[in-house]
Structure 1
Amino acid sequence: MNSLKIVTWNVNGLRSAKHTVLQMLESHDVDIYCFQETKISRNQIDDSIAFVPDYSAYFSFPKVKSGYSGVVTYCSERVRPFDAQESFVTNGETFDFIESQLKELESEGRTMITKHLFMDDKEQMNLFLINVYCPRADPENPDRLIFKLNFYRLMESKVRQLLQNENTHILILGDINTSCKRIDHCDPDDEFDESPCRQWLNDFFTISNDKPYFIDIFRHLHPETKNAFTCWNTRMNARETNYGTRIDYCICNNGFLRYVEDCVHLTDVMGSDHCPVMLKMKNIKILTSPSYPKLSTKFWPEFGVGTKQMKMTAFLHRVDSNVMERENKESSSRKRQKTTSIKQYLSIVSRKSSTFTQSNNTLVTESKLNEECGQTASQQAMFEKISASNDAVIQWKNVLCGPPKPPLCTGHNIPSTLRTVTKVGPNRGRQFFVCSRPVGPRNDPTSQCGFFKWAK
C-alpha cells in the first residue's frame, strides 16, 4: 500500500462514545486510530472493544486511578506494528529526571508508542507513532502545571533520542492540551503568549538548522485558516457557535513531511467535546509485522481465542448445563411469584379504599385481607415497605415546589438556564441563572448575552 490514513480523537470516555467509535472502526477506511481519554479500566472492556475485526488493539491504562485518562491505538492488519510500548522510558533512561518523577509521569496511562516499518525506494525506515494524551494544567492546582511541563520535557527528550538513529521518523498524534497560536483560540487574552506551556510548544515547533525539528502539520498546510477548532465547551453549547480551541495535533519531524498529503478536521463527527483529526499520507509503503506485539489485546488471558469473550468464571470451574437450566427455571418461578404478590397487594389496596366509602362504614381488618390472599409474613413486610415508600413520596411532593422559575435574560428576553458553581471557593454549590444561548463571540447576537443572576 502506498497511502496511509490515521485518525486521532479524544473520545472523552470510550464507553460513552462507544457507538460512534465502533462505527468508525467498522468503516475500514482508516489504517490506524489513536483514541485518547478513554476513561476505562481493563476489567470494563468487553470483546467488542478488545477485538475489532481486521484490527489489533493496544491499550494504556492509568496505574493509580481508574476511570481516568487512558489511550488506545487500533492498527489494521495491513499495518500491524512490529512493537508497542506504553512508556517513554524503555531502556533505563532517566532523561534528567529522578526515578520518582519518572514513575509519576508514567503512571496515568497517557502514552502508546507503536513501531512501524516502511520502504523508501529500497531503503527500510522506522516510523514511531506516538499516541499521546497530554495533561491539563489545572489553574487551582499549581502542581499540575509542573506535571504538565515535565511531561512535555519527557516526551521531547524521548523523540529527540529516537531521531538520533538513522532512518527514523516520528509521528505524534493526540490531545496536546495547549493551543499554539492566537489563531488557534476563540478568545485569547492579553497574557495568552505568556503561558509556559505555550512557550514550550512554540519552541518545539521552532525551525532549527543544526538538528531535526517538529512540524504542526495542520497549521503548516493551512497557515491562514481561521476558526479551525477541535475542542469546545459542550456544557455551554459552544460547538453550535464554533467557539473553541485547537488542541488536537498531528506532528511530525521535518524529514517526514514529504510523505504527508493533508490533515483535516472531521467536525461532523459527534460523540465527544473534541472532533477527530485525520492525517493522510502518500507514497509510503508500510510493511506488516508477521506477529503481534505482546501488548496486543489478543494475548489478554481474560478473553478466549478469537473474538469471543471468555468470562473469568470459566477459568474457575465448568458450569453444568443441567444446573444452569434448573437455575433459570427457579429464577423464572421467583419472578412469577413476585409479580403475583404485587398484583395481590394492588387488589388489597383497591378493596381497602372501597370499604371506606360503604354506607355502613364497615372496615375490613388487615388480618382478614391477609387470610383471603394467603399472605406470608415476609410478603406482608414487603407490602408495608412499599406503602411507607409511597407515602413518603407523596409527602415530599407536597413539601417541595421544584426549582425556581428561571427569569428572562436581558439580552434576548428568553428563559435563562440554572447552573451551579463548581469552582472551589465561598460560592461553591450556589446556584445562578445565565443566558441559555450557546457561548460565542461577544459581537455575535445569536450567542450568549451577559445576563447573570444569583438564584434565591
Structure 2
Amino acid sequence: MRILSWNINGIRTLPQYHPWNTLKTGDAILDELKADIICFQEMKTTRLSLPRTLAVPSTYDSFFSFPTNKTGYSGVGTYTGTLTARPLKAEEGLTGLPRNGGGDERISQVYPRADDLAPSFFPDEEGNTPSDLGVLDTEGRCLTLDFGLFVLINTYCPNETSDARLPYKMNYHLLLQSRVEQLIREGREVIVLGDLNVCVGFLDHCDGHLESVREGFWEHPARAWAKGLFGEGGVLVDVVRMFWPDRKAMYTCWNTRISARESNYGTRVDYILVTRGLLPWIKAADIEPSVKGSDHCPIWVDLREEVELGGRVERLRDVMFCNGVEDGCVGREPPRLAARYWEEYSGRQTLLSTFFGKGGSAGGNKDVASPFSKVDAGKTKCDVGDMEVSVGELSNTLAPTPPNPNTDREREPTQPPPSAPSTPPQPPPSSIPPTFSSPAPSPAPVPTSQQPPTTHPRAPSLAQYPHEPKKRKQPDEPSSSKSKKKKAGQKPKQTKLSTFFVQPSTSSTGSSSGPNQTQPSKDEEQEQLEADYKLALELSASQQDLLSQAHPTPAPKQNTNQAQAWSHLLSPLQPPLCFIHKEPTKELTVTKPGPNKGKNFFICSRPVGPGYDRGRGERLREEVNHLFRCGFFRWGSEVRRDALREGAGAGARG
C-alpha cells in the first residue's frame, strides 16, 4: 500500500502541467499518482467551486477541509481507495469540532484543551493567547482519519509570512503536537504527513553549508519545535530521511519566482512522520522531484502487505479492517465526513442543471439515483416526498394558463363601417398568431421605369435585411385621399444604415434622363469603376513623375544629431551586461503591489544556486559563488537614460 502526500498549490493550477493537462477526470488524475491514500495540501478552492469530478470521484472516497473565513486559501483533501483503504472514522481539524458529529464518529477519547496549552502558547503583538482552540482550526489545515492500524493526520502548517504571523504558526504546531501525544497515550499508532513549513536540518537547506546560515539555525522556534518532535529521540520518525540519511539536495520545495527548481536550489519542508510502532510496516519512502504541477513535489511511503510480529504473520488488510468484499471496504460505508454525503451529491438537493438536461438527468450524480426517472410513453415522474407525481401533471398545476388567441387577439369590429358594403369572412383564429397579423401578399411587378434604385456593388443589398411583415390592410377600413397624402408626407422615425449606401434613383421623379431611361447593368457599372480606377492611377503616376523632376528629393544627411537621437529613442531597449559574467541580463517586471508595480528591471540571467549573490546585506562576500547569479540590478528607466546619453554623445562626436 502506498500513501502519498503533495502540496499542489492550487487544484486549478494542476492541469497546466503535463501529464495532468491530458487527463480529463478526477479518477484519471488520482490513478496517475498510483497510490491508495492521496493527501493534498493547499488546495486553494471552496466547496462550491470544486469540480464535481474531483469532489466525488467514482473509485475514491474524498474528504475535505476548507477555511471558514477565507476563500481560495489553504485547504486540504484526502482521497482513499474505495476497495483498498476505506477509513473507519474521519474528523476535520485537530480539536474535535462539533461539525464532525459525536459518538461513533469521534476518533479520540480526549482532545486538547486551551487551559492545558495556555502556558506554552505564544502571545500575539497585544500579548493575548488563544482562549478557544477553535480559532486554530478555522483555516482548513487538517484532516484526521482512522484506518484501524493507524491514525492518519494530513496537515498543512502555517507559513511564517511575517513576524505577526509567527505566534499563530507556533500555536498551531503546539496544538498538533498535543493531539499526537494524546493519541499515543491512548495506544494508537500515528502517521503525520504534509507540508510542515519548517526546515529541520542543514542537509535540508539549500545554503546549509554556509557558516552564516548555520549560525543560529536552531534558534528559530519552529525548528526547535520540530527537532523535539521528530528529531533524534523524538516521538515521531522522519521515514524519508531514515531511508536516505546522507542524501544531499533532497529538496521538496523551490521558489519558482526565481527559477530555483532548474538548479535544485530549494528546501525540504514536506515530511512523512510515523510512530515507532509502525516502523516494521514501513517498506520504502522517497520523494518525486521529477513530477511537475506545483512548487512542491510529491513524497510517498510504502507499507508492507505482511509482517511477522511476535511469531505470527499479520496481514495489512486484516489489521486495517479492510478485507475486501467479504467484510471490509465494499460492505462498509465511508464516514459521514465524506463528500459523497454533501447535499448536492447525495440526492437531497436538486442541482439547477437537472432542470435543463435531457430527461432531467444532466448534471446529476452518477453514483446516486436521479430524482427523475424515465417511464414508458416518454413520460417522466418525480418523487416528491412520499408522493409520486407525474411531471406533466405537475407542470399543468404550476404553469400559468396560456393566452387564448380568441379572447386576447384584437377584437374585430362587429359591424362594418358605413363606407364598407359588407365584411369579408375572416380566417380561422388558429391560423393567425395572437400577436402578429398574416403577411401581406406579394405585390405585382412594377414597370421597368419604376424599379428600385440599383445599389452600389460593394454596399449591402436591402434585400439582405428582412423586415417585419407589414400589417395587411383590412378591406373594411376607410380610405381617403387625405390620409394617403398625410402618410406619404411623413418622415421615417429612424434612418437605416443601408440607405446611405444606395445610389440616387434615376427614375422619372427629378431625373434628366427621362422616364424611359433604363439603369445600366451591374457588369457594365463594375467595368466602368475599374476603368476609372486605372485612369486615376495613371494620372497619379504621371503627376508624381513631374513633381519629382521639378523638385528632386535631396539626399539625407548622414550622422545628424536629430537622427541619432530618434534612433536611440525608438529602438528596442538593449539589455545591459552584468558586472561579473559580462553576459546580457534579462528583463523582468514588478508584479508585487506597491509603488514599483509595473516597472521593469534587469538582473543577471544566470540561475540561482548555492551561494548566489543575494546582496551584501544578506550574504558575506567570501561565501558568494560566482557560478550562479550575481548581484546585478538596474531599473529599466536607468538603462534607457544611459542609452539616450550614449546616443547623444555619439551624435555630437559625429
TM-score range, shorter chain: 0.7 to 0.9
Which of 329, 342, 345 is the equivalent residue of 1:300? 342
Counterpart CA distance in 1 for 2:573 and 2:134 is: 49
**Equivalent residues of 1:79, 1:116 under 8 A apart:** yes
**Superimposed CA distance per residue, residues 154-199 of structure 1 (whole angstroms, 9 cap, x where no aligned partner):** 0000010011112x10001100001100110001423322211111
1:284-295 matches, cutoff 5 A: 284-285=316-317, 286-288=320-322, 289=329, 290-295=332-337
Deviation at 1:429, TM superposition (A): 6.5
Larger mean Cα displacement after TM superposition, 93-102 or 226-235: 93-102
Instruction: Find the aligned partners of 1:136 and 1:407 in 2 and give their Cα distance.
Output: 37
Compared with structure 1, are the counterparts of its residues 454 and 319 closer, same or farther at alpha carbon in structure 2 (3 Å cutoff)? Answer: closer
Distance 1:142 1:221 in 2: 35
Moved more, 100-109 or 259-268: 100-109
Q: Is the contact between residue 60 and residue 72 of structure 1 (CA under 8 Å) also seen in structure 2?
A: yes
Deviation at residue 414 of structure 1 after TM alignment: 2.2
Counterpart in the other structure of 2:156? 133
Give runs of aligned pairs for residues 333-372 of structure 1, distance below 5 A: 369-371=497-499
Partner of 2:351: 311
Residue 199 of structure 2 corresponds to 179
Q: Which has the higher strand share?
A: 1
**Gaps spanning 5+ residues in structure 1: where?**
119-126, 324-346, 350-365, 375-399
Superposed CA offset, 1:54-96 (max 9, x none): 2110000000000000000000111100111112112664142
The equivalent residue for 2:141 is 110
Counterpart selection for 1:142 from 160, 163, 185? 163
CA distance in 1, matches of 2:62, 2:501: 59
Aligned partner of 2:223 in structure 1 is 198
Q: Runs of 5+ in structure 2 lacking a partner?
A: 97-109, 119-128, 307-315, 323-328, 361-457, 461-493, 503-568, 612-623, 638-654
Q: Distance in 1 between matches of 2:130 and 2:496?
A: 76
Contact 2:8-2:14 within 8 A present in 1 as well: yes
Secondary structure of residue in 2 paired with 1:143? helix
- Seen in structure 2, the aligned counterparts of structure 1 residues 401 and 322 have a Cα distance that, compared at 3 Å, is farther
Distance 1:304 1:447 in 2: 56
Question: How far apart in 2 are the matches of 1:93 and 1:13?
Answer: 30
Change (3 A) 1:321 1:28: closer
1:451 and 1:294, CA in 2 relative to 1: closer, same or farther beyond 3 A?
A: same
For the pair 1:439 / 2:462, whether they are aligned, the reply is no
Residues in 2 aligned to 1:117 and 1:320: alpha-carbon distance in whole angstroms: 43
Matched residue, 1:455: 636
Alpha-carbon contact 1:65-1:108 (below 8 Å) kept: yes
- Specify the SS of the correspondent of 2:343: coil
Residue range with higher mean Cα deviation, 75-84 or 47-56: 47-56
Note if contact 2:7-2:297 (Cα within 8 Å) is conserved in structure 1: yes
Shift of 1:428: 6.8
- The answer on 1:268 being equivalent to 2:290 is yes
8 A contact 1:408–1:415 mirrored in 2? yes
Are 2:31 and 1:29 equivalent residues in the alignment?
no
Q: Which is bigger in relative contact order (C-alpha 8 A, separation at least 6)?
A: 1
Structure 1 equivalent of residue 265 of structure 2: 243
The answer as to whether partners of 1:417 and 1:435 remain within 8 angstroms in 2 is no
The whole-number CA distance in structure 1 between the counterparts of 2:608 and 2:169 is: 28
Contact 2:39 2:154 in 1 (8 A): yes
Task: Name whichever of 253-262 and 93-102 sits farther off.
Answer: 93-102
Partner residue, 1:277: 299
Q: Match of 1:10?
A: 7
Distance in structure 1 (CA, Å) of the matches to 2:255 and 2:342? 37
Does the CA contact (< 8 Å) of 1:81 and 1:292 recur in 2? yes
**3-state SS of 1:371 partner:** helix
1:350-397 CA-to-partner distances (Å, cap 9, x unmatched) read xxxxxxxxxxxxxxxx968442579xxxxxxxxxxxxxxxxxxxxxxx
Matched, 1:232 2:254: yes
Q: Does the aligned pair in 2 maintain the 1:419–1:434 contact within 8 Å?
A: no
Q: Which amino acid aligns with 1:130?
A: I
Give me the whole-angstrom Cα distance separating, in 1, the residues matched to 2:584 and 2:499.
Answer: 60
Equivalent residue, structure 2, for 1:86: 92
Give the Cα separation in 1 of the matches to 2:245 and 2:179. Answer: 28
- Alpha carbons of structure 1 residues 322 and 59: separation in structure 2 relative to 1, 3 Å: closer
- Structure 1 position 319, deviation (Å): 4.8
- State the shift of 1:206 in Å: 4.0
Letter of the 1:108 counterpart: E
Indicate if the aligned counterparts of 2:112 and 2:175 stay in contact, CA closer than 8 A: no
How far does residue 295 in structure 1 lie from its aligned partner after superposition?
A: 1.1
Give 1 or 2 for the bigger CA radius of gyration.
2
The partner residue of 1:62 within 52, 64, 67 is 67
Q: Give, in whole Å, the separation in 2 of the partners of 1:60 and 1:402.
A: 54
Residue equivalent to 1:340: none
- Give the superposition deviation at 1:249: 0.2
- Structure 1 residues 93 and 245 mapped into 2: Cα distance closer, same or farther (>3 Å)? closer
d(CA) in 1 for partners of 2:260, 2:625: 12
Query: Counterpart of 2:154 in structure 1: which amino acid?
Result: N
SS at match of 1:250: strand
Letter in 2 for 1:144: R
Give the partner amino acid of 1:272: S
How far residue 435 of structure 1 moved from its aligned partner, in angstroms, is: 1.7
Q: Between the two proteins, what is the percent identity of the paired residues?
A: 35
Which residue type is aligned with residue 151 of structure 2? F
TM-score (norm 1): 0.73
Cα offset, 1:406, TM superposition? 3.3
User: Does the aligned pair in 1 maintain the 2:4–2:299 contact within 8 Å?
Assistant: yes
Distance 1:105 1:401 in 2: 57
> Following the alignment from structure 1 to structure 2, what is the Cα–Cα distance between the partners of residues 89 and 437?
48
Displacement after TM superposition at 1:415 (Å): 3.5
Checking the alignment, whether the CA contact within 8 Å between 1:213 and 1:253 is kept in structure 2 is yes
In 2, the alpha carbon distance for the partners of 1:49 and 1:322 equals: 25
Tell me, what secondary structure is at the counterpart of 1:104? helix
Give, in whole Å, the separation in 1 of the partners of 2:144 and 2:268.
23
Change (3 A) 1:455 1:157: same
Aligned residue pairs total 369
- Distance, in Å, in 2 between the alignment partners of 1:291 and 1:74 is 15
Q: Give 1:28 shift.
A: 7.1
SS at match of 1:6: strand
Aligned 8 A contact 2:260 2:609 in 1: yes
Equivalent positions of 1:403-414 (< 5 A) are 405-410=574-579, 411-414=581-584
**What is the Cα deviation at residue 259 of structure 1?**
1.1
| C-alpha spacing 1:403/1:79, structure 2 compared with 1 (3 Å) | farther
Distance 1:117 1:16, change over 3 A: same
Aligned partner of 1:213 in structure 2 is: 235
Per mean C-alpha deviation after superposition, the further-off stretch among 275-284 and 237-246 is 275-284
CA distance in 1, matches of 2:256, 2:339: 32
